[in-house]
Structure 1
């Protein structure tokens, strides 16, 4: 059995077995997500489900991967981000404190030589970042960590989109014969998928910031390792496409809040999933539609690795135009349509 299949199966089983116990633990510790004007659920739901994803990933990786320097850095950084998430799920950390924790986890990754030192342009020439490598890497990691965190607004949404993104990177890694990346993404997909059985609507538990930040962090870190091994820009474009939905939703939220004159970190009801609910979609319908969108973006990412640079550029331009058209139709940029938190 290939290691990546074994890693996926181990993570699925561990997450599936552990999550019921974590539900009971969250209830006992009072880690409950209470409904409010912005949230969709109507009664308190246990959070901390990310603990199951974290443990499932760690067990799967330790059983199937050699502990090289880059892997150790990834696991240590992931542990820090999980700890920050657990504290936040229990105590509701201020945004600035949570950001500092994310930066610390990114710095740990960089300290183990996992960083974006260079990329190649469409013509094959190398672009070296030199002294900008560390800040660019930290920005990349913190940025992707928060994109998954911000999309976690409907039952099963973040877990499903992260699973699709991880599988996309897994398939590209297999195409390029990067087995380490394949195993790591398989373990991540398995943990998220095993947890999804309890998180899909109607959710019995939420992953909380523990899970959403961990998934985003791991996807960011794994993609950097892939970029280092392939020395190609496409290694970073693939996760951007694979996580296109949460990345774009985050970008639109920043633009929307800036235009509305409210703090960028202030939550609202203007996210894509809120717009779909306002249009009359049920939670399940909205989530399934967003799965389909993520799947199409994932397929586009895979296609980018198989075509010439010219066709790849055309694909990227077509996707951008399609996204902007859809966003305009849904009023994603319109701050007046957002129902602000009280």
Structure 2
């Protein structure tokens, strides 16, 4: 009952805070102006993701005091999340060079790995591997990639919000099934905070998330996934499956662009979700489609991987196969005139 009250409070607080931020953005002319690389046609206020950051981190203190969040996860989330949000906020208000942003990203990743004691042991095909110091290196690149891909995938109305909510709810369900009920609390609070923002961001969006919000969600969800591995080795695969839509689309698009020698930070509209939104002429069908994929395709696969009924590697391959097919179908990664 107390947790339910906390979630409702978080949702309402995020909803109200986003409304206030929208007024602030309009007053300060913090607008996202459409250009040839945009997926929007109307100038829209940006920076609403700060509401998610503020409300989640505020309630995180409450969860820590109530015993739902341990000291290590609390420190990992607070330090990395606030740091990345601040970096994104500054970038939203004035451009920061890519090299300095990347440095900040690796510092945040190092912070997470320090408090979570590195990458958890990896279970592959029935064999557990402790990667020791090499795990820190892999973990750092994983965290930075998740942070950036979430930014890349925040390009149409409601998509990044719907992804975060459905992934957190799916993971919470899996935790409850496995008996990690207390650990599901922080996921439910995150879903509530994003839900309050989604009220304003649902197609057609009245405010955009901005780098502060998308980067924050990327690092926090990646942090959740690593911490899950210390609870159970199977849960890492569950998280990778739950995040499959974003991982497959962003990674496949990146690889295609790399093969053509394009600059990674060059603006483009070649992600599968962007191509799909242009084909359908609206953002709503794509956002709802991703939501349905997460709930009815990826969550069941993540559950069977978590319970051990199917090996995590096999479950991931089976779950990702149609996602890769969709990316290829929508010509993800190709130049716009080829899509």
Give the alignment's TM-score, normalised by structure 1: 0.91
Change (3 A) 1:181 1:219: farther
Distance 1:290 1:170 in 2: 19
Counterpart check, 1:257 vs 2:245: no
Equivalent residue number for residue 46 of structure 1: 45
Equivalent residue number for residue 292 of structure 2: 292
Equivalent residue number for residue 113 of structure 2: 110
The alpha-carbon deviation at position 314 of structure 1 amounts to 4.8
Q: Which moved more, 1:75-84 or 1:137-146?
A: 137-146
The alpha-carbon deviation at position 305 of structure 1 amounts to 2.1
Distance 2:217 2:313 in 1: 28
Q: Which moved more, 1:259-268 or 1:80-89?
A: 259-268
Equivalent residue number for residue 132 of structure 1: 134
Distance 1:261 1:140 in 2: 22
Contact 1:85 1:208 in 2 (8 A): yes
The alpha-carbon deviation at position 71 of structure 1 amounts to 1.1
DSSP 3-state at the match of 2:203: coil
Q: Which moved more, 1:283-292 or 1:145-154?
A: 283-292
CA RMSD between the two structures? 2.0
Give the alignment's TM-score, normalised by structure 2: 0.91
Residue number among 63, 66, 80 corresponding to 1:77 in the alignment: 80
The alpha-carbon deviation at position 152 of structure 1 amounts to 0.5
Q: Which moved more, 1:279-288 or 1:62-71?
A: 62-71
User: 1:170-189 to 2 correspondence within 5 Å?
Assistant: 170-189=172-191
Counterpart check, 1:26 vs 2:25: yes
Residue number among 166, 184, 209 corresponding to 1:164 in the alignment: 166
In structure 1, runs of 5+ residues without a counterpart are: none
Distance 2:73 2:79 in 1: 10
The alpha-carbon deviation at position 95 of structure 1 amounts to 2.1
Distance 1:126 1:313 in 2: 12
Residue deviations 1:295-315 (CA, integer Å, cap 9, x gap): 2222321232235245x5554
Change (3 A) 1:333 1:203: closer
Deviation beyond 6 Å, 4+ runs, structure 1: none
In structure 2, runs of 5+ residues without a counterpart are: none
DSSP 3-state at the match of 1:279: helix
Contact 1:6 1:64 in 2 (8 A): no
Q: Which moved more, 1:158-167 or 1:273-282?
A: 273-282
Change (3 A) 1:338 1:65: farther
Q: How many residues align?
A: 334
